[in-house]
Amino acid sequence: MSALLRVDDASAGGAVVALNSTTDDRPVWHDGRLTLAVAAADGDLVELAQPPQTTTLALTTARDGQAWIDVAVVAAARPTTDGAVVLAVACVAVAPSPRGSVLVVASVRFRGSKVIIRAHVAADAGARATAVSVPGLSLPDQLPRPWRADVGGPHARVLIGETVLSLDQRAPGGDAAPLSATGDVEPAFTASRVWPASAELALHLADAVRGRSVIELGAGAGLSGLACAVLGASRVVLTDLPENLALLERNAARNELDVAVAALDWMAPHTLGKFDVVIAADCVFLCENQPVSQVIPELLPTTTSRRWRGAPQISVPHRCVLARAVRSAAGRHRGGRGARGGRLHRCDAPAGADRSLLRGAPPPRLDGIGAPPPTRRAAKHGRVRD
């Protein structure tokens, strides 16, 4: 039987070599010299956790009309599929649709020297596939791309950890946005879909919310707050304007999550109490004359043990986590990868109602997002400089 045993750098330039041998039954990855990954389109790799850990991935189609996805686990000596050996392939049928709009959940496990793939389409009656590693496979051509919040959306389903959240929302390309008497878009219209900043925020909350009480401001469809419940928050309250609460209640019920839904007017007193973490996704561009910069400190426990610029200090681990899309003058998302852009702000010390609200700690960039920070001039007009 053919067994993958070693990397032969001298003869194959770093490629994995298949040797016919029965003297060593150890798996090809036993010495840690190879990268185990799911092969993606254009030669990219989606790296997996080292065995025996299980990895769960969100994948999607790489092009319009793709009829199936080949989930291929490879062992590679270089950061590309070039020269990699294919260990297992699971083929999942998907409904032809625009690229990026399908969510395929793939789980990769290692059992001894075997690789086991389980994949399914995250949809009602979605197709499923299972594969176990065998020698002699070649790289298939219907490879996926990693799922992204800003491609193919709005997304009705989002993978959080190993849980798929299902969201009721307005379909894309629907009716024109209704305007209020003041000429602004009705809040219920913008709140009725999941925006990319919310989906990105939901993917970066695990360390901030586990075991803590969380309140989401301007929750809209509720994705970020529902993600907190999945990720182990001790208490979650989703807030928005009264006319938007029905959608929040529907999405909480359809996912069977124990969360509370409440109206919160940022300009009026509230009785919701204090929370360990405040989150908000693409609510506003924060600046000192907007009410959200005043309501956040009111929702977080304060301590007078130390002060910063004369304002009460938020005690760690109490914090706010804010996500916003970065848009150009034309209104499109701006970033280092296509139209994707945004910033994730994690603040341990909001300081009252001034721009220092976002200066508590250096904000890590969202994974894969290369948008530059706003300029000082932009901060002066409401877009806070990090």
**Average pLDDT over every residue of 21-36:** 70
Q: Is residue 386, in this structure, part of any structural domain at all?
A: no
Which amino acid, one-letter code, is at 40? A
- Exposed (0-12), middle (13-18) or buried (19+): which is 226, by Cβ within 10 Å? buried
| C-alpha count within 13 angstroms, C-beta hemisphere, residue 217 | 29
Higher pLDDT, 121 or 34: 121
Q: What would the pLDDT profile of 167-205 be if each residue is shown by its tens digit?
A: 988 654 455 556 556 655 566 667 777 888 888 889 889
Q: Is residue 151, in this structure, part of any structural domain at all?
A: no
Give the confidence band of 87 by pLDDT, cuts at 50, 70, 90: very high
Residue 332 and residue 198 share a domain: yes
What CATH number did the domain enclosing 187 receive?
A: 3.40.50.150
Listing DSSP states for 15-71 in one string gives: -EEEEE-SS----TTTTS-SEEEEE-GGG-EEEPPPTTS-EEEEEE-SSTT--EEEE
Q: What would the pLDDT profile of 254-298 be if each residue is shown by its tens digit?
A: 999 999 999 998 888 788 999 999 999 887 644 445 677 778 888
Which amino acid, one-letter code, is at 85? V
Q: Is residue 136, in this structure, part of any structural domain at all?
A: yes
Beginning with the edge strand found earlier in the chain, give each strand of the sheet holding 343-347 in spatial order. 260-263, 235-240, 213-217, 277-281, 319-324, 343-347
Q: What is the pTM of this model?
A: 0.75
Residue with tokens 């949809």: 123
Q: What would the pLDDT profile of 349-381 be if each residue is shown by its tens digit?
A: 333 333 333 333 333 333 333 233 333 333 333
pLDDT computed for residue 188 by the predictor: 65
Give the confidence band of 39 by pLDDT, cuts at 50, 70, 90: very high
Residue with tokens 């400190």: 297
pLDDT computed for residue 29 by the predictor: 77
pLDDT computed for residue 24 by the predictor: 57
Q: Which of 356, 381, 371 is closest to 200 using CA atoms? A: 371
pLDDT computed for residue 344 by the predictor: 59
Higher pLDDT, 280 or 20: 280
Q: How many domains does the chain have?
A: 2
Give the confidence band of 318 by pLDDT, cuts at 50, 70, 90: low
Enter the tokens of residue 71: 């989930």
pLDDT computed for residue 155 by the predictor: 84
Q: What would the pLDDT profile of 215-234 be if each residue is shown by its tens digit?
A: 999 999 999 999 999 999 99
Enter the tokens of residue 30: 């036993």
Using CA atoms, how far apart are residues 213 and 300, in angstroms rounded to an integer? 10
Q: Is residue 66, in this structure, part of any structural domain at all?
A: yes
Among 104, 123, 146, the domain boundary falls at 146
Least confident of 45-54, 240-249, 344-353: 344-353
Using CA atoms, how far apart are residues 321 and 205, in angstroms rounded to an integer? 8
Q: Which residues contact 30 (CB under 8 A, 6 or more apart)?
A: none
Q: What would the pLDDT profile of 105-159 be if each residue is shown by its tens digit?
A: 999 999 988 999 999 999 888 899 999 998 889 999 999 999 998 888 778 899 9
Q: Is residue 345, in this structure, part of any structural domain at all?
A: yes
Using CA atoms, how far apart are residues 47 and 37, in angstroms rounded to an integer? 4
**Average pLDDT over every residue of 306-333:** 55
Radius of gyration of the chain from its Cα atoms, rounded to whole angstroms = 24
Residue 176 and residue 129 share a domain: no
Residue 320 and residue 185 share a domain: yes
pLDDT computed for residue 170 by the predictor: 67
Using CA atoms, how far apart are residues 45 and 51, in angstroms rounded to an integer? 17
> What does the CA dihedral 84, 89, 95, 101 come to, rounded to 10 degrees?
-50
Please state, rounded to an integer, the average pLDDT across all residues of the chain: 75
Is residue 59 scored above 90 in pLDDT?
Answer: yes
Q: Which of 286, 283, 302 is closest to 294 using CA atoms? A: 286
Give the confidence band of 165 by pLDDT, cuts at 50, 70, 90: very high
CB 220 within 8 Å of CB 249 = no
**Which domain covers residue 189, as residue numbers?**
157-380
Among 126, 146, 166, the domain boundary falls at 146
Is residue 20 scored above 80 in pLDDT?
Answer: no
Among 146, 179, 213, the domain boundary falls at 146
pLDDT computed for residue 276 by the predictor: 92
CB neighbours of residue 333 within 10 Å: 18
Residue 213 and residue 113 share a domain: no
Residue 265 and residue 188 share a domain: yes
Q: Which of 368, 383, 324, 344 is closest to 208 using CA atoms? A: 344
